[in-house]
Amino acid sequence: FFSHLWPDAKYKTPEYFTRAATRPLHLVECCLGKFCTLLTSNLIATGYNHFKQCYICIAMVCCFFFPTGLMITSAALYHVLHFFHITIDIRNVCVFLAPLFSSFTAIVTYHFTKELKDAGAGLLAAAMIAVVPGYISRSVAGSYDNEGIAIFCMLLTYYMWIKAVKTGSIYWSSMCALAYFYMVSSWGGYVFLINLIPLHVLVLMLTGRFSHRIYVAYCTVYCLGTVLSMQISFVGFQPVQSSEHMAAFGVFGLCQIHAFVDYLRSKLNTQQFEVLFKSVISLVGIILLSAGGVLMLTGKISPWTGRFYSLLDPSYAKNNIPIIASVSEHQPTTWSSYYFDLQLLVFMFPVGLYYCFNNLSDATIFIIMYGVTSMYFSAVMVRLMLVLAPVMCILSGIGVSQVLTTYMKNLDVSRPDKKSKKQQDSTYPIKNEVRSLLLIFLSFPYVGCGMILVMAFFLITYTFHSTWVTSEAYSSPSIVLSARGGDGSRIIFDDFREAYYWLRHNTPEDAKVMSWWDYGYQITAMANRTILVDNNTWNNTHISRVGQAMASTEEKAYEIMRELDVSYVLVIFGGLTGYSSDGTERPPGYDRVRNAEIGNKDFELDVLEEAYTTEHWLVRIYKVKDLDNRGLSRT
């Protein structure tokens, strides 16, 4: 199959094929993917200057509310291919962009892990991330989303940061800032990076590891990275105004104070230094606290966003911002999801952490912090499993490499044991005896051979599990549903595309469609009709009005629909097929607990009329009637 599609298939990377073979070649994953494809086509057709001014939905300037790095990357790749006379449609570029960048991610993972341990661990980590389901879910062919390139940008930034920390070079620091700039332009999750790197520097300060190398690396990354990120429209002045970026700014100030204190210590005697140190620290602390309080009270520094609050306090969104809590990706992660998306990595992750704790360095401290923080955040939101998957692969690669390295030494029985005996502590004779017996037992060749066979078995099962999960869970597009019939045959539900096709060809071009925000991007991209709310969820007022209309009686809903100039209403109905994510689960007030029939099913619509119902009754479209010519009110 591959040899017919690509003559040079044998030169392609395995992780590319793992993702490229899971989706039909012509299908871009819908919702955000279709929306991004529409924006990319607009960028190529009109140029960047016009693209910056394009309005999508209700006067939403896309570059001010949406990262444009994904579209610019696709457009650049498209123009490069056409420069070399490789004619390819932009849709195909969008389909295969995520698998292409997954190959780059595997390469960066190898070099990143190599900086932490050695080349063997790097190869294992690269092989693991090539097939890990937690990453494949966002990097399969057709998954044209920001996360498709964001994970590559994130790991590239981390790799450059470790190089900068190890060398103290302005060159590597500048490269890290450029990688951070690319990350900011690609994904709103860059906030995790700009908080993790300062946290790493702060821990190095507290542990006494702060040095000139760290000072040069962080100051260069922060200054250059902040200036570059402020050139992106949807970021603007947030790095100096929002609370999410204040940790980076605070650590930058601490770096200057730390360097100044070291300079004073070298120029003054101990007594003079202590007096001056206490005075300066007290004065600087009072000034900073006062300035920060005034800026917070006056609104110059914006408070944390709802999503950031919900990460620190999982109950915040449920109690204060229900729209965040209503998103399925923002739900807490179940324990089964970790095994489903990570499998072997769940058990080898602590082994890698143990090795890093036993070999502490500036680099291993960073990966420990990355692993611990991402583990916590992934437990709060299931969508952050994507951030956890790379570090799980890295630490698991380190753990597996260390286990294999330890036991492979025992396979060569002819090799004399040149290891010097450790000096035993006479205070603990029992401990020394147990250690000696354990070393003797582990030195037997059959023990090493058994451990290597066990690890090989686990790695093989990990590969089969990842392949199965990719095939069953992450290979079907969300817009085309599938299920198994009673005889085991596959049933395809293509109702969504059927409904959008009908809207595109049977409604006026200026028609306005009201639906819940889950389907906003799909209607915009596939039906090419104006919608009121979409998946960006930036306009809470419109979302609340649409929700009010959906939950109101027909008479009250009609007033809201006329106010919003709605032409058609699209609802999802799962009563016939048993589709659980239908419209009845959105509004409150449907009491299913008592297993009782509630409400009146026998009624006729007055101000709405059924316009179209799909084959499996999954999508139903209603037309909003106009007022009577005589202006009679509808009752």
* Number of CB atoms found within 10 A of residue 73's CB: 21
- Whole-angstrom CA distances from 139 to 339, 534, 631 are 19, 23, 55
Nearest to 112 by CA among 99, 132, 128, 96: 128
What is the token pair recorded at 224?
Answer: 């250059």
**Which residue carries 């590239």 as its tokens?**
156
The Cα 304–Cα 320 span in angstroms is: 13
Structural tokens at position 532 = 């009121």
Least confident range from 60-69, 273-282, 309-318, 567-576: namely: 60-69
568, β-bridge pairs = 513, 623
Per-residue pLDDT, averaged over 611-617, amounts to 90
Contact assessment for residue 28 and residue 520, using Cβ atoms and an 8 Å cutoff: no
Give the residue extent of every domain in the chain.
Answer: 146-303, 492-624
- Position 381 scores a pLDDT of 85
Confidence label for 348 from pLDDT (cuts 50, 70 and 90):
very high
Query: Which of these, 387, 366, 367, lies nearest to 375 by C-alpha position?
Result: 387
Burial class (CB in 10 A: 0-12, 13-18, 19+), 432: middle
Give the confidence band of 302 by pLDDT, cuts at 50, 70, 90.
low
- pLDDT over 50 at 588, yes or no: no
- Residue 537 CA, chain-centre distance (Å), reads 17
SS (H, E, C) 90-127: HHHHHHHHHHHHHHHHHHHHHHHHHHHCCHHHHHHHHH
Q: Is 488 helix (H, G, I), strand (E, B) or coil?
A: coil
Report CA 540 to chain centroid distance, whole Å: 23
Give how far Cα 75 sits from Cα of 79, 86, 97, 191, 434, Å: 6, 14, 11, 25, 64
Q: What is the 3-state secondary structure (H, E, C) of 146-162?
A: CHHHHHHHHHHHHHHHH
The pLDDT value recorded for residue 631 is 54
Provide the pLDDT for residue 7. Answer: 30
DSSP secondary structure string for all residues of 364-398: HHHHHHHHHHHHHHHHH-GGGHHHHHHHHHHHHHH
Task: Please tell me what DSSP assigns to residue 425.
Answer: P
Question: What residues have CB less than 8 Å from 244, skipping those under 6 apart?
Answer: 191, 194, 195, 238, 304, 305, 308
Could you give phi then psi for residue 172, rounded to 5 degrees? -65, -35
Picking from 305, 234, 306, the residue whose alpha carbon sits closest to that of residue 65 is 234
Q: Are strands 568-572 and 512-514 parallel, antiparallel or unpaired?
A: parallel
pTM of the model: 0.81
Long-range CB pairs of 44-49 (<8 Å, 24+ gap) are 44/75, 44/78, 44/79, 44/90, 48/72
pLDDT exceeds cutoff 60 at 416: no
- CA–CA dist 243, 110 (Å, integer): 34
Backbone angles phi, psi at 620, to 5 degrees: -125, 135
287 against 226, higher pLDDT? 226
More confident residue, 174 or 279: 174
**16/208 Cα distance (integer angstroms):** 43
CA separation for the pair 176, 393 (Å, rounded): 22
- What average pLDDT does the structure give for the chain? 80
The pLDDT tens digits for 112-166 are 999 999 999 999 999 999 999 999 988 888 888 888 899 999 999 999 999 999 9
- CATH topology for 492-624 is Rossmann fold (3.40.50)
How many Cα atoms within 13 Å fall on the side-chain side of residue 108? 24
pLDDT band for position 24 (cuts 50, 70, 90)? very low
Joined together, the tokens standing for residue 196 give: 């993790």
What's the one-letter identity of residue 581? S
Whole-angstrom distance, CA of residue 157 vs CA of residue 386: 16
Q: One-letter amino acid identity for 317?
A: A
Q: How far apart are CA 454 and CA 38, in angstroms?
A: 49
Tell me: pLDDT of 61 over 60.
no
Q: How far apart are CA 102 and CA 16, in angstroms?
A: 7
Higher pLDDT, 52 or 163: 163
In the DSSP assignment, the letter for residue 469 is H
d(C-alpha 72, C-alpha 201), whole Å = 32
- Confidence at residue 182, expressed as pLDDT on a 0 to 100 scale: 95
Q: What is the pLDDT of residues 511-532, one digit of tens each?
A: 999 998 888 888 888 888 988 8
Whole-number Å distance between alpha carbons of 607 and 619? 19
Other Cβ atoms less than 10 A from the Cβ of 30: the count is: 23
Stretch 426-445: mean pLDDT: 57
Tokens, residue 478:
């969300």
Rounded Cα distance between 494 and 483, Å, is 12
The residue among 447 and 630 whose pLDDT is bigger is: 447
Given this model, what pLDDT does residue 576 score?
78
Query: Does 83 or 36 have the greater pLDDT score?
Result: 83
How many separate helices (H) and strands (E) can be counted in the chain? 29, 9
Which amino acid is present at 87?
A: T
Block residue for tokens 């998954």: 143
Least confident range of 352-361, 390-399, 443-452: 443-452
DSSP 314: T
| Coil/strand/helix, residue 150 | helix
